[in-house]
Structure 1
Amino acid sequence: MELTPDVAEKVLAEQPFSVLLGARLTAFGDGGATLELDIRPELLQQNGFLHGGVLGYAADNAITFAAGTALGPEVLTGGFTISYLRPARGVRLRAEAKVAHAGSRQATCTCELSTVDEAGSARVCAIAQGTVLAVRR
């Protein structure tokens, strides 16, 4: 089965944690995926910045959706790394992932995470790279 934008939206809606965070796909296809979520007080850490775990979630899921454009809908994260560049603050988090290389069973993707302020200006706060594996049943 091919992972179309409609199927991707359905997959995201079936992830309880994604629903809890209010994540949405704002772009999907052509080797990439963009995931966004609104920054709310309950997602912050003790210093008022977006919690690193939320950034990790967004990178992981955006990378997996991007890989799905190349591998199909049956995929799992094999691993990822994230580098936090600056504290994340703003009104929205955007995770833009792209396939760097894909074979028939594995894809490697990159992801740039940015926060968007009330004026609409984006600022990169983290970068990530991950490997995604096709699940063959």
Structure 2
Amino acid sequence: MSAPDPALARKILAAQPFSVLLGTRLTAFGGGEAVLELDVRDELRQQNGFVHGGVLGYLADNTLTFAAGTAAGADLVTAGFSIDYLRPAGGVLLRARARVVRAGRTRVACRCDVSTVDAAGAETLCAIAQGTIAVSTPPDGSPAPEA
């Protein structure tokens, strides 16, 4: 398999209408890791002023899959993920960092930390997630077995 291509990863992100709507940015991609960032704005908050948990879930899910892409290529889908909310998210920026834990032929297990970043640049961990990403086409080109 060829080395991870950050330009291709950015093209894939730009092809996701929901990611474009939210303004998500890919800021790191390679070496088994990916980082996505998203500016916090009022439309992303719930009634108590915190960032909605669905936004954190989206960011974790997408970052897990991008991290998997560094090891398994672009033909991936999320098989499942879980998220634990540690504290309410606010700040001016959300930053999700995911890394590959284990890359198999048809599944890639990843972990993700989602932090809120304040105006001074201080990060506070607000959620952790782990997930399994399914490889639609294994790197050797053989058909993936049915899950």
Secondary structure, counterpart of 1:118 in structure 2 = coil
Taking the aligned partners of 1:134 and 1:80, their CA distance within structure 2 comes to 15
Displacement, 1:32? Answer: 0.4
Distance, in Å, in 2 between the alignment partners of 1:119 and 1:87 is 18
CA distance in 2 between counterparts of 1:105 and 1:28 reads: 21
Instruction: Give TM-score scaled by structure 2 length.
Output: 0.91
Structure 1: give runs of 5+ residues left out of the alignment: none
For residue 22 of structure 1, what is the aligned residue in structure 2? 23
Aligned equivalent of 2:112: 111
Q: CA RMSD in A?
A: 1.0
Q: Confirm or deny that 1:132 pairs with 2:133.
A: yes
Residue of structure 2 equivalent to 1:95: 96
Residues 43-92 of structure 1, C-alpha deviations (whole Å, 9 max, x = no match): 00000000000000000000000001111000000000000000001000
Question: C-alpha separation between the residues in 2 aligned to 1:4 and 1:134?
Answer: 17
Give the letter aligned to residue 88 of structure 1.
A
Structure whose alpha-carbon radius of gyration is higher = 2
Aligned residues: 137
TM-score normalised by the chain length of structure 1: 0.97
Shift of 1:104: 1.5
5+ residue gaps, structure 2: 138-142
What is the deviation of 1:105? Answer: 1.3
Shift of 1:38: 0.1
